[in-house]
Amino acid sequence: MTDSSTTVRPDRRAELAAGLARVRARIADACAAAGRDRAEVTMIAVTKTYPASDVVALADLGVTDVGENRDQEAAGKADEVAAAGVTPRWHFIGRLQRNKARSVVRYADVVQSVDSVRLARALDAAATGRDGPLPALVQVSIDGDPARGGALPDSADPDAGLGPVAEAVATAPGLRLAGLMAVAPLGWEPERAFARLAEVYESFRSVHPGAVALSAGMSGDLEIAIRYGATHVRVGSALLGMRPTLR
């Protein structure tokens, strides 16, 4: 299979290996600085805009978890990767419309971006008949701006409040509430954003003690996220290179 779409060129493989070594060192250093066990933090390689061949190469280098943010791109990529005989854990991390739930559930092993009761219900319906409940994280809006996605902490909004969304996921037979996800808002110091997130996570955990995942931190701020308790960091550009367009 020399010219298969999932064959990676040796120079690209070397580039990915170098990126991976740098990111792994950053995570290890951040865990050491925070007095945390390195095994508590999972790195998700965010492969959006990059080809299936990069996913296969990363898996070959030991990456177990990959993230994608658009169904249209991810569905085909997941098929190509599976056809190459590689089975990473796929995390869906982008804004998701209810009419895409069925497609996403076909390949996603985890959905990190549940931010409304209606989306939780659509995913629950789509996940029925799956091998087991689909692990789902509730995405939280740290700045409370509903326009940018994320459930709203301290809001009683019946569709978008964090409490109602978490409850809808927790009680859905097709889903398993796994934790929270967030992105530091534009214009916020990551320090302030993740300190706020840690407070939200703490009160969330008092209601849902089994939902331990905290997905926070990207290429630019993973150290700070780890300091504030992230169990999953989602790393794209530091690993794969700068993306051509801003997503």
Ligand X SMILES: *Cc1c(COP(=O)(O)O)cnc(C)c1O
Q: Which of 20, 41, 43, 46 binds ligand X (CB under 6 A)?
A: 46
CB atoms within 10 A of CB 213: 20
Task: Kindly state the helix (H) or strand (E) to which residue 78 belongs, with its residue range.
Answer: helix 71-83
Query: How long a stretch of residues is the chain?
Result: 247
Contact 204, 166 (CB under 8 A): yes
26 lines the binding site for ligand X (CB under 6 A): no
51 class by beta-carbon count within 10 Å (0-12 exposed, 13-18 middle, 19+ buried): middle
d(CA 44, CA 234): 5
Distance of closest approach, residue 2 Cβ to ligand X, in angstroms? 31
Number of residues near ligand X (by CB under 6 A): 15
93 lines the binding site for ligand X (CB under 6 A): yes
- Identify which of residues 46 and 177 has a Cβ nearer to ligand X in the complex: 46
- Identify which of residues 116 and 219 has a Cβ nearer to ligand X in the complex: 219
Give residue number: closest CB to ligand X. 236
- Identify which of residues 6 and 112 has a Cβ nearer to ligand X in the complex: 112
Distance of closest approach, residue 88 Cβ to ligand X, in angstroms? 16
69 lines the binding site for ligand X (CB under 6 A): yes
236 lines the binding site for ligand X (CB under 6 A): yes
Distance of closest approach, residue 27 Cβ to ligand X, in angstroms? 13
CA angle, corner 45, sides to 221 and 110, nearest 5?
105
48 lines the binding site for ligand X (CB under 6 A): yes
247 lines the binding site for ligand X (CB under 6 A): yes
Task: Kindly state the helix (H) or strand (E) to which residue 179 belongs, with its residue range.
Answer: strand 175-181
237 lines the binding site for ligand X (CB under 6 A): yes
Contact map string, positions 205 to 234, toward ligand X, x by CB under 6 A: -------------xxx-------------x
Distance of closest approach, residue 79 Cβ to ligand X, in angstroms? 21
Task: Kindly state the helix (H) or strand (E) to which residue 214 belongs, with its residue range.
Answer: strand 213-215
d(CA 19, CA 40): 21
CB proximity list for 9: less than 8 A, separation 6 or greater: none
Contact map string, positions 152 to 191, toward ligand X, x by CB under 6 A: -------------------------------x--------
CA angle, corner 27, sides to 245 and 229, nearest 5?
95
Question: Site residues (CB under 6 A) for ligand X?
Answer: 46, 48, 69, 93-94, 183, 218-220, 234-238, 247
